[in-house]
Structure 1
Amino acid sequence: MRQEHFIARHRQEWAAFEQWLDVRATRPRRARHDPHWRGLADADVPAAYRRLARQSGLARRRGYSPQLQARLQVLVQRGHDVLYRPPRPRWWRAVEFLLADFPRLVRAEAGVMTAAALLFVVPLVASFVALQSHPELINTLMTPEQIADLEAMYAKAAQKLGRDSGGDLQMFGFYVFNNISIGLRTYASGLLAGVGPVLVVAFNGVMVGMVAGHLQAVGLGEPFWRFVPAHSAFELTAIVIAGGAGLRLSLALLAPGRQRRVDALMVAGKRGAQLALGVLCMLLVAAFVEAFWSSIGWIPAAAKYGVGAVLWALVAAWLLAGGRDRDAA
C-alpha cells in the first residue's frame, strides 16, 4: 500500500486517539465521565492502541517517510505511558477528594447550602443582639451553674481559654467526639422530613449566638473573640454543610420528583455521605486547631485574629475554587 493511501485510510483514527490523549492529559476525570464527550470512548482505547502499534510497525517495515514513522511512534509512546503507568496510590484519591471533589459537591448543592447558612446565621445574629439588651435570656438556655462555668472558661487571666481543665491532647479527643457527634446528628436529622435539619441548624445558631452575646455583655468578649476565630473557620462551616446535606435528605423524602421516593433517598444519601465525609475531615482539623492553638491564652489578639482571617480565607477559597478546572472541562 502506498503511503498516501495508508495515511488516508487511518488519519481519522490517529486523530481520534491523539485527541483522547490530549483531553486525558489536561482533564482526566472529565474525559472519562462527561456525557457530552463525543471522542474516542475509554472502552475502545486499548483496541485503538493495539491497532496503532501495528500500524507503526507496518510504517517502519514498508519504509514510509521518517516524519510519518516519528508521528506514529510518538502516539504509541504516549499511549503506552497512559495505559501502562502504575495506578495512583489510594491516599492520593483521598487527597483528590478533599481538594477537588468535595468542594465541587458543596457548590453543586448551593441551594440547600444557602438555606442552611441562613438557618444558622440569622438565629446566631438575632440571639447575639437580643442578649445585649436582654441579658437574662441566657437563663432560658443555661442553668446558673453552667453560666458560671462558661464565664470561668473565658476569664481574662486564664492561661487556657475555652476550657476549665484538661491537657491539650485530652481536649483534642473531647473536641473530636463533640464536634463530630454534632455534625453527624445535624446530617442525620434530614431523615425527620425537613423539621430535623431546620431545628438542629437553627438551635446551633442560637447556642453560638447566646454564648457569644452573654460573654460580650458581661465584659468577657475579648478573650472569647481571641478563642474562636481560627477553629470556627472549619467548625462553623462544617455545621452549615452538614445542615445542607440534611436538607438534601429531607427534600428527597418530601419532594422526590419523578423518581420513586426510595430511589431519590438513595441518591441523596450517597451524596450526603460524601458531604459527611468531608465534614468529618473539617471537624478533625477544627478540633486540632481548637485544642492546640485557640486555647492558648497568652497569644496577643492581633495574632489570633490574623491567623483566623487567613484560615477563613483559605476555607472560602477551597470551597469556592476547589476543582474549578473540572467544572470548566
Structure 2
Amino acid sequence: MDVDAYSARHRQLWTRLDVLSRKRRLSGAEADELVLLYRRTSQQLARLQTHSPEPELVAGLSAVVARARGRIVGSSPDTWAEIVRFFTHGFPGAVYRALGWWLGVAVAFLSVAAGFATWVSVDDSARESLGLQGDTGALTAPGGAFETYYTEHSNDAFAAMVWTNNAWVSALALFLGVLILPVLYLLFMNALNIGVTAGLMADAGRLESFFGFLLPHGMLELTAIFIAGGAGLKLGWTLIDPGRMSRAEAVAHQGRHTAAIALGLVPTLLVAGLLEGFVTPSALPTPARIACGLIAEAAFLAYIFTAGRRANRTDAVAAHETAPVRMIAI
C-alpha cells in the first residue's frame, strides 16, 4: 500500500470531516454528510492502522474520527478536559518529539558560551577583539551593574518585565525558525552575551557571584529558550526536508506542534520570571537560591520526559484505541 498516495487521495475528505465535526451548527444536509464521511473515514483509518508505518498520521486521523464520533452521538467538548489534555499530552508530547533538536541547541549554546568565557578570562586581547571597554569594573565589582540589574526594580515589576522579554525571545526563536538563520543569530548572540559576562566575572575572581545570580532562574529560562530554538529550527528544516508529506502539509503539521510548544512555554517562562524576580535577588544564601532553581528545572524536565514519553506511546498505539471502527462498513 502506497501510504502517501492513499493519504493524498483522501485528505480532502478527512479535512471536510474535521471541519464539519468542529462546526457549532449543522444543517440537515451537513449532518447527513458528517455521518457518511465518518463511516468512510473510519474504514480508511482501519486500513491505515494495518498498513501505515507513520504513527503520527494514524494518531491525527484517529483524533478526527473521535471528534466526529463525539459530535454524532451528541457529546460536547469539555473545555477543562481539553486544557488538561493539552498540558498532559499535547505540550509535553510536542516537546518530547523535538528532543534531539533542543538538546542539540543546548549543547551548541553552552559550548559557544563556555568558549567565549574561557577566551575572555585568559586572553587579554579578547576584550579588544570584542570591542569591550578596557575597564569593566563597573560591571564586575561587588554591587556592580551585573548584580544591581536584579535589584534595581521592584520584584513584581522585574518579574513581569523578564517574563515579557523571555516570551518575546522564545516566540522569535519559534516562529522565525522557518527561516533558520535568524534563529541561529538570536541563539548565538545570547550565548555570546552570557559567555562574555562569565569571562569578565571569572577574570575579576567573581565567578561564584555570576553563577549565584544566574542559576536560580537561568536553568529553567535557558531550557525554555533551548526548546524554543530547537522547535523553531525543526520547523525550518521541515520546509527543506518535508519527508513523505508534501511541503505545505509537512510545514502545517509541524507548525501545529510549534504552536503547542509556544503556548506551553508561556507558563514555563512565567515560573522562570517569578524565580528571577523574587528568588534571584532575595537575601537567601546562594546555595538555597540555586537549589530553588534546580528544583524547578528538575520538576520541568521530569514532567517533559514522563508525560512526553507517555504521550508518544499513546499516539503510537492509537490504532488499538480505535479498533472497533473496523466493523463499520460504507
Query: Following the alignment from structure 2 to structure 1, what is the Cα–Cα distance between the partners of residues 249 and 66?
Result: 29
Query: Following the alignment from structure 1 to structure 2, what is the Cα–Cα distance between the partners of residues 279 and 94?
Result: 14
Describe the SS at the equivalent of 2:245.
coil
1:291 deviates by: 0.6
The corresponding residue for 1:63 is none
The corresponding residue for 1:119 is 108
Query: Following the alignment from structure 2 to structure 1, what is the Cα–Cα distance between the partners of residues 290 and 151?
Result: 23
Tell me, yes or no, if structure 1 residue 249 matches structure 2 residue 235.
yes
The corresponding residue for 1:108 is 97
Stretches of structure 1 that go unaligned for 5 or more consecutive residues are 1-29, 50-82
1:123 deviates by: 0.6
1:291-306 equivalent positions in 2, closer than 5 A: 291-296=277-282, 298-306=283-291
1:36-47 equivalent positions in 2, closer than 5 A: none
Q: What percent of counterpart residues are identical? A: 25
The corresponding residue for 1:98 is 87
Tell me, yes or no, if structure 1 residue 188 matches structure 2 residue 187.
no
Deviation readout 1:244-288 (Å, 9 max, x if unpaired) = 111112112222234333332222222111111222222221111
Pick 1 or 2: higher relative contact order, CA cutoff 8 A, min separation 6. Answer: 2
Query: Following the alignment from structure 2 to structure 1, what is the Cα–Cα distance between the partners of residues 252 and 155?
Result: 40
Decide whether aligned partners of structure 1 residues 256 and 151 sit closer, same or farther in structure 2, where only a CA change above 3 A counts.
same
Tell me, yes or no, if structure 1 residue 174 matches structure 2 residue 161.
yes
The corresponding residue for 1:238 is 224
- The residue type equivalent to 2:211 in the other structure is W
1:94 deviates by: 3.1
Deviation readout 1:180-209 (Å, 9 max, x if unpaired) = 2211222233132x3232232233222212
1:161 deviates by: 5.1
1:178 deviates by: 1.8
Decide whether aligned partners of structure 1 residues 35 and 262 sit closer, same or farther in structure 2, where only a CA change above 3 A counts.
closer
1:134 deviates by: 1.8
1:164 deviates by: 5.9
Describe the SS at the equivalent of 1:256.
coil
Alignment check: 8 A CA contact 1:106 1:241 kept: yes
- The residue type equivalent to 1:130 in the other structure is W
RMSD: 3.5
The corresponding residue for 1:133 is 122
Deviation readout 1:115-139 (Å, 9 max, x if unpaired) = 3223212212212222221255345
Query: Following the alignment from structure 1 to structure 2, what is the Cα–Cα distance between the partners of residues 263 and 87?
Result: 26
Query: Following the alignment from structure 2 to structure 1, what is the Cα–Cα distance between the partners of residues 295 and 92?
Result: 18
1:17-32 equivalent positions in 2, closer than 5 A: none
Query: Following the alignment from structure 2 to structure 1, what is the Cα–Cα distance between the partners of residues 214 and 101?
Result: 26
Alignment check: 8 A CA contact 2:220 2:293 kept: no
Decide whether aligned partners of structure 1 residues 267 and 157 sit closer, same or farther in structure 2, where only a CA change above 3 A counts.
closer
Alignment check: 8 A CA contact 1:233 1:315 kept: no
Alignment check: 8 A CA contact 1:135 1:214 kept: no
1:96 deviates by: 3.6
Query: Following the alignment from structure 1 to structure 2, what is the Cα–Cα distance between the partners of residues 255 and 46?
Result: 36
- The residue type equivalent to 1:314 in the other structure is A
Decide whether aligned partners of structure 1 residues 277 and 106 sit closer, same or farther in structure 2, where only a CA change above 3 A counts.
same
- The residue type equivalent to 2:103 in the other structure is T
Match for residue 150 of structure 2 among 159, 163, 171? 163
Query: Following the alignment from structure 1 to structure 2, what is the Cα–Cα distance between the partners of residues 46 and 235?
Result: 41
The corresponding residue for 1:3 is none
The corresponding residue for 2:140 is 151
In the superposition, the TM-score normalised over structure 2's length comes to 0.65
Query: Following the alignment from structure 2 to structure 1, what is the Cα–Cα distance between the partners of residues 99 and 135?
Result: 37
User: How many residues in Structure 1 have an aligned counterpart in Structure 2?
Assistant: 256
1:200-215 equivalent positions in 2, closer than 5 A: 200-215=186-201
1:175 deviates by: 0.8
Describe the SS at the equivalent of 1:228.
helix
Query: Following the alignment from structure 1 to structure 2, what is the Cα–Cα distance between the partners of residues 146 and 245?
Result: 39
Query: Following the alignment from structure 1 to structure 2, what is the Cα–Cα distance between the partners of residues 44 and 188?
Result: 34
